[in-house]
Amino acid sequence: MSQPTDPPGTPPDSAIERELTHDEFDPIGTAVLITLYFLILVGMWLFTYFVEFLGNGPTVVGVIG
Amino acid sequence: MTSYIDQFPEEARLVKAAMVSAFLALAVGATFGLLQVLHRTGMVRVLSSADYYTALTAHGVLLALTFTIFFLVALFTWGITTSLDRNLPSMRFAWGWYGTMVVGALMAVVAIFAGFLTEPPTLLGEELSASVLFTFYAPLQAHPLFYLGLAIFVIGTWIAGYDWFRTYWAWKRDNPDERTPLPAFMALTTMLFWWLSSAGVAIAIVVFLLPWSLGIVDSVNPLLTRTLFWFFGHAVVYFWLMPAYMLWYILLPKLSGGKLFSDPLARVVFVLFLLLSTPTGIHHQYMDPGIAEGFKFIVMVNTMFLLLPSLLTAFTVVASMEHGARQRGGTGKLRWLGKLPWRDPVFTGMALSGLLFAAAGFSGMINAGMNINYLVHNTFWIVGHFHLTVGTAVALTFMAGSYWFIPQVTGKPLWNRTAGLVQVLLWFLGMVFMSNAMHRAGLLGVPRRTAEPQYENFAFEGAIGSVGELDAQVVLGGTLLAISTIIFLVTIVMTMLGDRGEVPDNSYAGTLSGPEHSPAILDNLKLWTAIALVLIVLAYSLPLAAIVQRGGLFGPGIDGITRVLPPIDTIGGLVEWVVGR
Ligand code: HEM
Ligand SMILES: [Cu+2]
């Protein structure tokens, strides 16, 4: 965390514990997050398919009752 | 201490003025947002349902065009001057384009607001009004003042772009061997596609809609003007988004305590947007009869390609944040997230914007599919979608960014960090409620752009939940958003009224992998512009030709232009005479 006294938008230099160069840095967390995102997308696609296409007749929008 | 105002005092005043203009538009526009929510759900009706469209026009024009674009010119002016470390050539010239934009915006806004009067004043022999929504499709017709105002506003942005380009050219002469700094590169590529795409809307306005509203021509070809609008209308969404992307790329890594993962990747992203922003516009017209399915299919393919730069952005920006978190001792697969500076409203606002933008990625993919688009077209789903994109990814990023920029351009520290933090959280929360309910309502078939979405003998049936529950969520969300807007405006005003003090340095993120790792061809703006032009010609020439062939330039037949023909005859005669000599 940046210090509560720092003005917002100050880079938290004081909190930096180690320098990571391009070769030392392995963005594994990013890979995990993006995989999660894709899984959510796929899940939502399936959900949409079942609810909207299998659940409704061929009408485009709404049902006039 | 080197804040922006110390380095560029003159430019800082201009940036501040443009930002304040943006905030004024936000204040008025958001008020209408709340009124719309209350009106549609029938909670409180301040306006008559007929005036609803005037309000909705004001909301769209003030927020989607005025707020966003004023903020953009402020940001790009900052980005060009800071990254090239160079003043604008002439401040008089710069105030000139800013003034042009202000005049244009005021003209359009006056025309819109006159629509609220029971007896609007008459100007040029016509009653002043412009309740045509921000898409101003024919056959809806506005007073000429509205079209003229919009045209002048857009011309102001063109001149601003020229100003940034000549600053860049001067820098290039002095530094022939250096790579273009990233923020400047981003601003310039964005302006290039802006010129290409806004040419379409300029033609729609100046050649067709304005003469039509002035009574010079009797009719227009509605599909032609619609298509010209969307020629610009998809690119404009990237015009809103690119400044937000710029902030994510150059501020978020720094605030996280890290560096931008890859400068070359960021350049590739902006080049892709230059190439693909315009030849995708027809995806807003999937439901328009009069455009062949084949053309729509080409555009769908372009649109799917356009997902790529946004996915690249998600990767690069998140990886940069992770870099910062790990440098600050973050570990684990996901535990590093806790090391991010969540108490900083600038960071948190932008990070939450990005999160909701990812959610919008899902509804965007639904919208983009030619067949599945039929499910959601013109429903409340669409409104839910773009309040996540322009209404949050862009607007919340701009608001969070303001907590950094207003101190930069005034030299005054942010008034209250907690207020800022509460504000960005409230916006996030309010938008989650409002937008989610809008998406769901859209799936039930609830239409957008309707003052009274309930009809006699017609009920929307919910698969889960009820329309009452959805309405309640929309109202709750809209109210939280309105409160958030007020806190934002108070924080900005209090900051500007405060005393000068300690503010962060004017700097942006360094890079883990710099431009030297990318081929120089990436910076060849002429090449990319040429390819962008070719793609536009490929996507648009045949559809436009077909539309004109079927519906005429000014509507079916040539009747519409009887009054234009005599002057054209005169000019033709003149040309013949000159050539004949
Ligand atoms: C205070 C927060 C906001 C609320 C409560 C709100 C509410 C709404 C509602 C209910 C509609 C749909 C009305 C209808 O279709 O009948 C709407 C439309 C729209 N909103 Fe917002 N909005 C807010 C903020 C924003 C922001 C920040 C932006 C963009 C920067 C924005 C851009 C738009 C646009 C472009 C439309 C479409 C207008 C049209 O259909 O012509 N809104 N808004
Ligand atoms: Cu689009």
Place of tokens 């939940």: B465
> Is the separation of the CB atoms in B263 and B519 below 8 Å?
no
Instruction: Compute the C-alpha angle B12/B15/B20, nearest 5°.
Output: 120
Q: Is residue A35 part of a domain?
A: yes
Q: What's chain A's Rg over C-alpha atoms?
A: 23
pLDDT of A57: 61
Count of structural domains within chain A? 1
pLDDT of B388: 97
Q: Render pLDDT for A10-63 as a digit per residue (tens, 0 to 9).
A: 666 667 777 888 878 888 888 999 899 999 888 888 887 776 667 666 555 555
Select from B165, B133, B171, B166 the least CA-distant residue to B150. Answer: B133
Tokens of A25: 């840095």
* Interface touch B358/A11, C-beta < 8 Å: no
**DSSP H or E segment with residue B127:** strand B126-127
* Interface touch A2/B344, C-beta < 8 Å: yes
Reported ipTM exceeds the 0.90 cut:
no
pLDDT of B55: 97
pLDDT < 70 positions in chain B: 1, 455-459, 461-465, 557-565, 581
* Interface touch B326/A25, C-beta < 8 Å: yes
**Residue B89, SS3 per DSSP:** coil
Q: Is residue A43 part of a domain?
A: yes
Instruction: Compute the C-alpha angle B184/B186/B189, nearest 5°.
Output: 105
Domain housing A47: 27-53
Select from B319, B242, B243, B317 the least CA-distant residue to B274. Answer: B242
How would residue A4 be classed by pLDDT, with cut points 50, 70 and 90? very low
Query: B346 to each of B17, B129, B359, how far by Cα in Å?
Result: 21, 39, 21
Q: Is residue A47 part of a domain?
A: yes
Q: What is the CB < 6 Å shell around ligand 1? A: B 30, 33-34, 36-37, 40, 56, 59-60, 63-64, 67-68, 133-134, 383, 387, 390-391, 395, 448-450, 478, 481-482, 485
Residues on chain A touching B343 (C-beta within 8 angstroms): 1-2, 4
Q: Is residue A48 part of a domain?
A: yes
Torsion of CA A52, A55, A57, A61, to 10 degrees: -40
Q: Which CATH superfamily is domain B4-204+237-277+290-549 in?
A: Cytochrome c oxidase-like, subunit I domain (1.20.210.10)
Supply the DSSP symbol for B464: S
Helices H, strands E: what count in chain A?
1, 0
Cα B305 from Cα B382, distance rounded (Å) = 21
